[in-house]
Amino acid sequence: MTTRVLIADDQAMVREAFSVLLGAQPGIEVVGTARDGTEAVARAEDLRPDVVVMDVRMPVLDGIEATRRITGLLGDATRILVLTTFDLDEYVYEALRAGATGFLLKDASGVELAEAVRVVARGEAMLSPDLTRRLITEFSRLGGGPGAAGATAGGAPAVRVGDQTGGYARGSAGGSAGGQVGAPVGLLTGREREVLVQIARGRSNAEIARELVVAEETVKTHVGRILRKLSLRDRTQAAVFAYENGLVTPGGDAADR
């Protein structure tokens, strides 16, 4: 199955380089480019790509707001991979709050970029390990935990993050707020809780299968049931739920619940 990609960046050389790089990868097709956020929203609505590789700083409309509008328009049909040279926490927070599924720095290798596109297209969260560690630290600083509210420096709801995961914006256009804070963990079976903890640790279905000694298809089934039972949009929100409900704690192991 081919992953269709839209590249949004205000620099022509970057757009061309990414188009060539990703277009040469098996199973990836670059269907279009955009030079600012407004054009990215229009082209995404027209082309319906599987993934948008989105720059943060663009004229007319920045990548954060463009992400928010695209996820509001297209929902799960289009995933957003934010790519930027700015290794700043506020960009990560804002991108994830806007509905992005992944965040990668522009100094990543071509192989890492292609793999990030594939990961995001599968609905899995993508964050570099360095960013993840800092976000977990911030999660702890803001009092992250069961039912914690927290706030970013700008006063917005804090993004909850799991190991190797992104987050969601509570009530944002990009995701459903239902089933997140205070959702009944008791709806999950013991095995589903185990799978949820592994998701929060950033593990793929194959890695979870090896850890729990089950078939990968079985893991996929459990993941689907977890999302349905908790009314969550994707694995990112599932990881967020695990942290907010104390199944996993920053810097610690899963809670024995």
**Pair 20, 107 in one domain:** yes
Global confidence as pTM: 0.63
Residue 42 lies in a domain: yes
Instruction: Tell me the C-alpha distance between 49 and 126, whole Å.
Output: 18
Asked if residue 160 and residue 111 are part of one domain, the reply reads no
> Of 151, 163, 181, 173, nearest to 236 (Cα)?
163
Query: Same structural domain for residues 64 and 160?
Result: no
Model confidence at 252, pLDDT cuts 50, 70, 90, reads: low
**Band of pLDDT at residue 44, cut at 50, 70 and 90:** very high
Q: How many CB atoms are located within 10 Å of the residue 56 CB?
A: 24
Percent of the chain with pLDDT over 70: 69
Burial of 78 (0-12, 13-18, 19+ CB in 10 A): buried
User: What strands, in cross-sheet order, belong to the sheet with 28-34?
Assistant: 28-34, 3-8, 51-55, 79-84, 102-105, 126-127
Specify the length of the chain in residues: 257
Range of the domain at 225: 152-257
Is 178 a domain residue?
yes
CATH code for position 228: 3.40.50.2300
Q: Using one digit for the tens of pLDDT, what is the confidence trace for 96-113?
A: 778 888 888 888 888 889
Residue 75 within any structural domain of the chain: yes
Domain count, the chain: 2
Q: Is residue 139 part of a domain?
A: no
Looking at the structure, do residues 51 and 102 belong to the same domain, yes or no?
yes
Q: What is the pLDDT of residues 171-188, one digit of tens each?
A: 332 333 333 444 478 899
Is 224 in the same domain as 159?
yes
